[in-house]
Amino acid sequence: MDIGQKYNKKKIINDPVYGIITIPSDFIYELIEHPYFQRLNRIRQLGLTYLVYPGAVHSRFHHALGAVYLMNEAINIIRSKGHEITAEEANAVQTAILLHDIGHGPFSHTLENHIVEGISHELLSLVFMNKLNKIYKGELNLAIKIFQDKYEKKFLHQLVSSQLDMDRLDYLRRDSYFTGVSEGIVGSDRIIKMLQVHNDSIVIEEKGIYSIEKFLIARRLMYWQVYLHKTVLAADQLLVKILQRAKYLIRNGEKLFSSDTLMFFLKNDIQIEDFYNSDLKDVDSVLDTFAQLDDNDILSAIKAWVKSKDKILSDLSYRLINRKLFSIRLQNGPFNVTELDSIKNNTLIKLGITEDECKYYVFTDQISNAAYSFEDESINILSKSGKLTDIAEASDMLNHAVLSKTVKKYFLCFPKDTIIS
């Protein structure tokens, strides 16, 4: 089937980041119109980050459309440099980037592994793609191959998932725009114009090296200023503790307000094989139930839980709804046991809770980030002579050791109103 001939009706969208963008084919538009994809309108791209950066209310839907736009630009540039990408391949790689985040649950990364434990959004995206492939009678076969890196042209997969893909180029620029954090602005148009294919691999032409340096610096700054901002982290942890408490209560016979969709996941431990099982009672399938779950289910439940008879759930929910977030401390090493015990004892006294209940209020964990990984596919710079050099070696500005170093920080959360002076 010639995708280009079957689907030739194009739509335009006014995107706040790129301006007027075009939906490249009617097939892509059909996928956008599908209820599975429309759910992404109700999933915030940056979870609870809006509690710190009020403008960060954009959705996964916005991001996916932006990534498709960048993919279309990349295809045109690569074709203009003499590399063949057929109409079918173009449609498939655009489909793959469109659906790359369709498996995200409520509040995106914040609740990953807390709604369905041990199942990544990438794996759920593949489950959705397989289901859509059945609906559209095999038209996603090539998109799935590219998404899984099983297609012969490996560079197409790199455009979807690599250390320099259309996903990262869009989310850095888009998240920077909506948060107002200018450090995250990247020259996505310049980077795309510098794309080249060499030995079936995406590389950057030599004159684009400075744009890549800025891209890596922007990514590192965005992680520490936005994605791992300590107040955002405190909000995320509070939301996680609320869901943990609700699960505990429900599985011990307590009745809580919740949508049927959310209640299904609060009651049940779901495994990946359950997403392929349509025989469970009361639901068409686990996948279709998950496809109805969004931020609204979580927020409506938490608003109701403020009045819960369980004082722990009620208090935690009140804190999130009214932005009475936990205090959070970050440091380079583990926290002193004596300090932890002191904070726990103060919390027990002030809140009148048990030692077991204290785990919802005082806890420590760690976070980490690296701007660039040598274990993944490299970002290679292509010189005019045809020589390939890893960006970490080619750059005269980026420090090789600093660039690749994984920065690890330990954090401690506790209620600020429980410290006894």
Domains and CATH numbers, the chain: 3-228+376-405 (1.10.3210.10), 230-368+411-418 (1.20.1250.30)
Of the candidates 294, 301, 297, the residue with the CA atom closest to the CA atom of residue 256: 301
Number of neighbours of residue 407 by Cβ within 10 angstroms: 15
Work out the average pLDDT over 13-39: 96
**73, amino acid identity:** E
The pLDDT assigned to 4 comes to 45
The pLDDT assigned to 400 comes to 60
Instruction: Show the tokens assigned to 200.
Output: 């079936």
- Residue 44 DSSP symbol: B
* Chain segment 149-182, per-residue pLDDT in tens: 999 999 999 999 999 999 999 999 999 999 999 9
Number of neighbours of residue 342 by Cβ within 10 angstroms: 13
Distances (CA, A) of 294 to 37, 45, 307, 317, 357: 12, 12, 22, 18, 28
Work out the average pLDDT over 308-331: 97
The pLDDT assigned to 378 comes to 87
The CA distance from 374 to 140, in Å, is: 32
| Residue 300 vs residue 185, higher pLDDT | 300
Work out the average pLDDT over 14-36: 95
Residue 166 near residue 180, CB atoms below 8 Å? no
E strand or H helix at 73, and its extent?
helix 60-80
What are φ and ψ of residue 291, in 5° steps?
Answer: -70, -10
pLDDT for residue 35 is more than 50: yes
Instruction: Share the mean pLDDT of the chain.
Output: 91
* Chain segment 198-234, per-residue pLDDT in tens: 999 999 999 999 999 999 989 989 999 999 999 999 9
Place of tokens 């790129």: 18
Work out the average pLDDT over 271-284: 64
Q: Give pTM, 2 decimals.
A: 0.92
* Chain segment 354-407, per-residue pLDDT in tens: 999 999 999 999 998 877 876 777 899 999 999 999 888 888 776 666 666 788
Rounded percentage of the chain residues whose pLDDT exceeds 90:
79
Report the length, in residues, of the chain: 421
Beta strand extents in 224-374 (DSSP E only): 327-331, 363-369
Of the candidates 161, 204, 245, 192, the residue with the CA atom closest to the CA atom of residue 390: 204
* Chain segment 78-93, per-residue pLDDT in tens: 999 999 999 999 999 9
pLDDT for residue 290 is more than 50: yes
pLDDT for residue 270 is more than 60: yes
* Chain segment 240-261, per-residue pLDDT in tens: 999 999 999 999 999 999 999 9
E strand or H helix at 196, and its extent?
strand 195-198
Instruction: Show the tokens assigned to 311.
Output: 């004082």
The pLDDT assigned to 398 comes to 67
Rounded percentage of the chain residues whose pLDDT exceeds 70:
93
